[in-house]
Amino acid sequence: MTTALDQQQTTEEAFHQLRESLNDKWIVTLSLNARLIGGIPAVNLHNGEAGAEKSRDIMAVWLRKALADKMSEEEIEALAAKTFDEAYKEGEEESSTTFKTDETGLYIEGRQVKAMLKEAGGRLGLGKSVKGERPSLKQDLHEALHVDEDAIHLMRDGQPLTVPDGCDARPIHVMTALGPRTSIKRTDYVEQPVITFTVRVLQNVGVKEEHLMQILAFGQDLGLGADRSQGHGKFTVTAFERIA
């Protein structure tokens, strides 16, 4: 009896090769033109265990708004705990928003880059069909385009960054139950980091290399990270190489 698996291959190897054969892949490098702003919300960590528990609840609310249609409540709670521990493992609040960090250094998540690519594709009108030319690519952008890396580390001069370059503070106006108030928003930032990631696109869908190039070209002005309305996060595509 024969099977689709080579006798010399493990099941894991066989399915890895099959997965690779189904996709086209590109290595992309972006050089930020100015500041990249950390987008993980910082919260008050100075009230002991009760404060930490409240902070985790705030983190869960923030994630729930972004991921409620993609993850279960249990998965969101687990992600909130993981995000909290990774972002604030030093146990101190230094800003209103910050970066995640691991043993290598500061990083942004692959899902943030994918969100930028999907938003850029939408702004370019790729989610709408063009009569006589192509169908809508909206579903392809959501389900057939992926960023391989979970953690995309922030680099400069070939070295990973381990701490933010600084913290900016500016007044913001908020509406509360007692009326309008002015608050101070503090944001961690890094100056002109470089990031490299892998984009994977299923071969049998409508998204092609030309569309990916258009998405990245527009993404340069759209920007990446938090506070893009303030002009932060704009980048230059410095490498774009097809590897499969």
Do 109 and 201 have their domain in common?
Answer: yes
Residue 172 lies in a domain: yes
Q: Residues 6 or more apart from 81 whose CB is under 8 A from it?
A: 56
User: How far is it, in rounded angstroms, from Cα 102 to Cα 86?
Assistant: 7
For the stretch 24-48, pLDDT in tens is: 999 999 999 989 998 887 654 444 4
Do 52 and 117 have their domain in common?
Answer: no
Residue 6 lies in a domain: no
**Residue 181 corresponds to which tokens in the numbers above?**
């108030």
Do 157 and 225 have their domain in common?
Answer: yes
Nearest to 124 by CA among 2, 215, 226: 215
Do 233 and 128 have their domain in common?
Answer: yes
Residue 196 lies in a domain: yes
Do 164 and 223 have their domain in common?
Answer: yes
Total number of domains in the chain:
2
**Residue 64 corresponds to which tokens in the numbers above?**
């729930």
Residue 10 lies in a domain: no
Per-residue confidence (pLDDT) for residue 181, from 0 to 100 = 60
User: How far is it, in rounded angstroms, from Cα 159 to Cα 195?
Assistant: 11
**Single-letter amino acid, residue 145:** L
Do 83 and 171 have their domain in common?
Answer: no
Cβ burial, residue 169 (10 Å; 0-12/13-18/19+): exposed
Do 140 and 175 have their domain in common?
Answer: yes
| Angle at alpha carbon of residue 113, lines to 111 and 114, rounded to 5° | 60
Residue 4 lies in a domain: no
Do 162 and 87 have their domain in common?
Answer: no
Half-sphere exposure of 199 (CA within 13 A, CB side): 29
Per-residue confidence (pLDDT) for residue 50, from 0 to 100 = 45
Q: Show the low-confidence residues of the chain (pLDDT under 70).
A: 1-8, 42-70, 80, 83-95, 130-134, 169-185, 244
Q: Please name every residue paired with 30 in a beta bridge, in sequence order, or none if there are none.
A: 195, 237
CB 207 within 8 A of CB 26: no
Residue 129 lies in a domain: yes
Quote the domain boundaries for residue 54: 43-93
Domain boundary (59, 93, 127) is at 93
| DSSP result, the chain | ---SS-TTS-HHHHHHHHHHHHEEEEEEEEEESSEEE--EEP----SHHHHHHHHHHHHHHHHHHHHTTTS-HHHHHHHHHHHHHHHSTTS----SEE-EE-SS-EEEEHHHHHHHHHHHHHHTTTTS-BTTTB---HHHHHHTEEE--SEEE-EETTEE--S-SEEEEEEEEEEETTEEEEEEEEEEEEES-EEEEEEEEETTSS--HHHHHHHHHHHHHH-SSS-GGGTTT-EEEEEEEE--
Do 149 and 232 have their domain in common?
Answer: yes
Per-residue confidence (pLDDT) for residue 209, from 0 to 100 = 95
Do 130 and 211 have their domain in common?
Answer: yes
Do 219 and 115 have their domain in common?
Answer: yes
Residue 195 lies in a domain: yes
For the stretch 201-211, pLDDT in tens is: 999 998 999 99
Do 77 and 144 have their domain in common?
Answer: no
CB 97 within 8 A of CB 228: no
Residue 194 lies in a domain: yes
Per-residue confidence (pLDDT) for residue 167, from 0 to 100 = 82
